[in-house]
Amino acid sequence: MKYDIVMIGHVSKDIMIYKEDVNEFLGGPVIYSSIAATKANKKIKVITVANVADAAELQPMIDNGVDVTRLDSEKTTSIKNVYFSADKEKREVTLLSRAENFDLKKMEKFDTRIVHLAGLFRDEIPDEFIEYYSKQAAVGIDAQGLLRTSVDNDLKFINWADIDKYAKYITYLKTDAAEAEILTGLQDREMAAKALCDRGIKEVMVTHNTEVLVYSEGKCYTAPFNPSNLSGRTGRGDTTFAAYLSKRLDSSIQDSVDYAAALCSMKMEKQGPFSGTYEEVMERVATLRVSK
Res 22 pLDDT > 80: no
Predicted confidence at residue 21, as pLDDT, reads: 77
Spatial distance between the Cα atoms of 276 and 90, rounded to a whole number of angstroms: 28
pTM of the model: 0.93
Q: What mean pLDDT is predicted for residues 134-149?
A: 96
- To the nearest whole percent, how much of the chain has pLDDT over 70? 96
The full set of domain ranges for the chain reads: 2-291
Q: What mean pLDDT is predicted for residues 101-114?
A: 96
Reference 195, options 207, 181, 208; nearest CA is 181
With bands split at pLDDT 50, 70 and 90, how would you rate the model's confidence at 87?
low
Res 270 pLDDT > 60: yes
Res 290 pLDDT > 70: no
Q: 71: buried, middle or exposed (CB in 10 Å: 19+, 13-18, 0-12)?
A: middle
Q: What is the pLDDT of residues 162-217, one digit of tens each?
A: 999 999 999 999 999 999 999 999 999 999 999 999 999 999 999 999 999 999 99
Q: What mean pLDDT is predicted for residues 216-226?
A: 96
Predicted confidence at residue 291, as pLDDT, reads: 61
Predicted confidence at residue 112, as pLDDT, reads: 98
- To the nearest whole percent, how much of the chain has pLDDT over 90? 80
Mean pLDDT (the chain, rounded): 93
Q: What is the pLDDT of residues 50-75, one digit of tens each?
A: 999 999 999 999 999 999 999 999 99
Q: Does domain 2-291 have CATH number 3.40.1190.20?
A: yes
